[in-house]
Structure 1
Amino acid sequence: MKLCSGWRRLVFCLPLIFFLHHLFSVMELHQESRVEDRHKKVRNKFDHLVLGPAAGQGLHNRLQCQGVKALNKTHFSASSNRGYVGENIAFVTVFTIYNSSDMSKTSGSSDVTTVGNSSYNKVERSIAILNVFINFIQVAMPQSNVVILSDPASDLSINRDKVSIYPIQGEYSRDKLMLQRIRSYIAFLERKLEDHSRDHMHNYIFVDSDIAVFDDLGQVFHDYPNFHLALTFRNNKQQPLNSGFIAVRGTYDGMSRAKVFLQQVLEVYISKYTSASRMLGDQLALAWVVSSDTSFDAKGFAKAQPFSKEIKGASVLFLPCAIYNWTPPEGAGQFHGMPLDVKVVHFKGSRKRLMLESWNFFSSSSSVADMLCLILSSGRTKYDF
């Protein structure tokens, strides 16, 4: 105020006032522009695959690719499906459809996605992913069954051979879905325990519906006959366990101990991680239950080798994510490629377009190895799902 005191100085101060006002306006506009640019970058997703260099070139026991052509023999090209006789497997997943009428009110042309020759709205592409999930299982393990745990109020109808819908009451909202998934697993095991004397025995693999199975997973139950449940791990201190793959032996003892184990996970989830109920809470709760056991040594997670531990009264088999729950990197090169014996690929988050693209590629080529090169080379794509 002293700078411009007195009417004689007003004439000299006016230009300064206008200059400062203009400067602040430009700075504000520039700031808004930067925020808008960041927003656009976040929303800028491709509607097609962007192929780049395949990670892991030159590394031992890693898939080597030239474009989408595999240069070395994979586990799949070196041997045919072994078909573990006597290992009856049922894949169990949680899936629901959200109110399509509510979604259509807010949907526009931007909510329609085209993959190959097909276009999908939000509901249709979720169903398409579920069908591709089933397709991969039926190619790799044609004798297995698929069980879909769903909200009884969900308008879900899947007419596929060896596929059944199993309604379980619960809270299937988006914010509670991960919490409900564990509750649904527990409820399913409880019912199977009640029917065990009348039911034909199956081993169960509880999985997310955005995974692709490439090999007969009966090998897990065949080669490791003493575990009650199996979890997949990675060398990550904060999130060492991924809940997208949980195998349960279908004996009465196996299902009983797995149910008790999951109940403990649920209790920890509710008491400690409800703020992460939409995602990650289940994985944090899994890690807490495992690491809180005094006999457990987290050093086992440092090597990508299966190992077993007694945890909370259950024999738990730990399987490396690199083989049983491999995820395509978002940003090619951040991982050391793809193991030649990968059995399960998990298309988490924005990778779901890649899941549909992979199935389309496999349908036209019938080559698992070349399809894996497509997946491995697509690490830089931010998809539109």
Structure 2
Amino acid sequence: MSHTPYFNDTVSLVTVFTAYNTSVSAHPNDRSSEMVTVGNISYNKMERSMAVLNTFINFIQVTMPLSNIIILTDPASDFSIKKSRVTLIPVKGEYSREKLMLQRIKSYIAFLDTRLIELSKKQERIHHYIFTDSDIAVVDDLGQIFYNYPKFHVAVTFRNNKGQPLNSGFIAVRGTPDGILRAKVFLQEVLKIYSSKYMKATRMLGDQLALAWLVKSHPSFDAKRFSRPNAFSYDIGRTSVLFLPCAVYNWTPPEGAGQFHGMPLDVKVVHFKGSRKRLMLESWNFYNSSAPAGISNMLCLILMSGRTKYDF
């Protein structure tokens, strides 16, 4: 696996993260407040979140060492990251758990708007952005997306799921002025649909439902394309959207007996949704213990985990 960039442009990984102080409000019978041990370290809920965020950063710095990491956060959030090439950017908004997914889209739009203003003031080299959840592991250089698919403005990931064919945990934006503008307009449309149709799902899934509604509402769009594991492009208004298969760019490990379906050989992003976050930390620990063949061995560990239930 090569760590050499496929191109000369810069790529930044962008995520939204906020710290919740649960020490006062946690109920003693609330399972989420219990300590969880991974390896030799025990974590409370806040420590778990920070451990996942740090692991997210660690994987990127191994597979994309020349990339930058940007964390969009609540100005009132109290945490720090002492790692190189990591920047915290406060964005005003409503970061409560109940509205975090709605706020995430707003934060993305605010960030892109800021970038447009900065680009209008000075000429810069192209700087691409990939917006992701913080519970992912980047296991290969993602710069090739912008090299192999040179015409898209924004890229999203899809799966063969009728109700939720699109996953919002991975959104790539081409860093040209036109790409950033088109991505901003696209996300504004998603936000408009979210706010008008899916406000009952602001804690989770609303953004994915809104994203799917925007795409599938176009009369000429063929939803059957989501059942085929091949990347494809489609124009939503004036935005050129690249659809990438989740199996490669947003793959989720199986969890629990009977859910084991193997792993794609060319996976580039592993998404540790829900309780699988324990596996994310275990995978990073295993990677460190199995160098130099770390990534390959780590993927084997994830592959073998398919019949295990996790407790994060």
The TM-score bracket by the shorter chain reads over 0.9
Q: CA deviation at 1:101?
A: 3.8
Structure 2 equivalent of residue 373 of structure 1? 300
Q: Retained in 2: the 8 A contact 1:293–1:312? A: no
Structure 2 Cα separation of the partners of residues 147 and 318 of structure 1: 24
Query: Which amino acid in structure 1 is aligned with residue 237 of structure 2?
Result: K
2:22 corresponds to 1:95: no
Alignment of 1:252-331 (within 5 A): 252-331=177-256
Report the equivalent of 2:146: 221
- Aligned partners of 2:176 and 2:271: how far apart in 1? 27
String of CA shifts for 1:235-286, please: whole Å, max 9, x gaps: 1110000000000000100010000000000011011111111111110000
Equivalent position of 2:264 in the other structure: 339
Higher mean alpha-carbon deviation, 336-345 vs 131-140, is at 336-345
Corresponding residue for 2:90?
167
Contact (CA 8 Å) 1:309, 1:316: kept in 2 or not? yes
- List per-residue Cα deviations over 1:195-244 (Å, max 9, x = no partner): 01435531000000000000010000000000000000001110000000
In 2 relative to 1, CA 335–87 (structure 1 residues): closer, same or farther, beyond 3 Å? Answer: farther
Alignment of 1:1-385 (within 5 A): 76=1, 80-103=2-25, 106=28, 111-196=34-119, 197-198=121-122, 200-332=125-257, 334=259, 336-366=261-291, 367-385=294-312
Give the number of the structure whose residues are more often helix, by fraction: 1
CA contact (8 A) 2:198 2:210 kept: yes
CA distance in 2, matches of 1:102, 1:146: 31
Distance 2:256 2:35 in 1: 25
* 8 A Cα contact 1:227 1:317, kept in partner: yes
8 Å Cα contact 1:332-1:377 kept in structure 2: no
Q: Give the whole-Å Cα distance in 2 for the aligned partners of 1:151 and 1:111.
A: 25
Give identity over the alignment, percent. 67
Find the aligned partners of 2:152 and 2:260 in 1 and give their Cα distance.
30
The 2-side partners of 1:284 and 1:373 are apart by 33
Contact 2:259 2:307 in 1 (8 A): no
Measured after TM superposition, the shift of residue 104 of structure 1 is 5.8
Normalised to the residue count of structure 1, the TM-score between the two structures is 0.77
Residue 369 of structure 1 aligns to which amino acid in structure 2?
S
User: In structure 2, what is the Cα distance between the partners aligned to 1:238 and 1:262?
Assistant: 20
Aligned-CA RMSD value: 1.7
Paired amino acid for 1:136 = F
User: How far apart are the structure 2 equivalents of 1:252 and 1:347?
Assistant: 32
8 Å Cα contact 2:56-2:136 kept in structure 1: yes
Query: Which segments of 5 or more consecutive residues in structure 1 lack a partner in the other structure?
Result: 1-75
Q: Secondary structure at the match of 1:170?
A: coil
Deviation at 1:112, TM superposition (A): 1.2
> For 2:29 and 2:11, how far apart are their aligned partners in 1?
39
CA distance in 2, matches of 1:287, 1:105: 37
Size of the aligned set, in residue pairs, is: 307
CA contact (8 A) 1:234 1:321 kept: yes
Which amino acid in 1 is paired with 2:69?
Answer: V
Q: CA deviation at 1:100?
A: 4.1
Matches of 2:258 and 2:67 in 1, distance apart? 35
**Is the CA contact (8 Å cut-off) linking 1:230 and 1:319 kept in structure 2?**
yes
Measured after TM superposition, the shift of residue 313 of structure 1 is 1.6
Residue 87 of structure 1 and its aligned partner are, at CA, apart by 2.8
Length-normalised TM-score, structure 2: 0.94
Query: Which secondary structure state, in structure 2, belongs to the residue aligned with residue 96 of structure 1?
Result: coil
User: What SS does the aligned partner of 2:152 have?
Assistant: coil
Structure 1 SS opposite 2:161? coil
Separation in 2, partners of 1:219, 1:130:
24
CA contact (8 A) 2:9 2:125 kept: no
Instruction: Check 1:343–1:101 CA distance in 2 against 1; reply closer, same or farther (3 A cut).
Output: same
TM-superposed deviation, 1:375: 0.8
Q: Distance in 1 between matches of 2:185 and 2:276?
A: 33
* Structure possessing the higher relative contact order (Cα contacts under 8 Å, 6 or more residues apart): 1
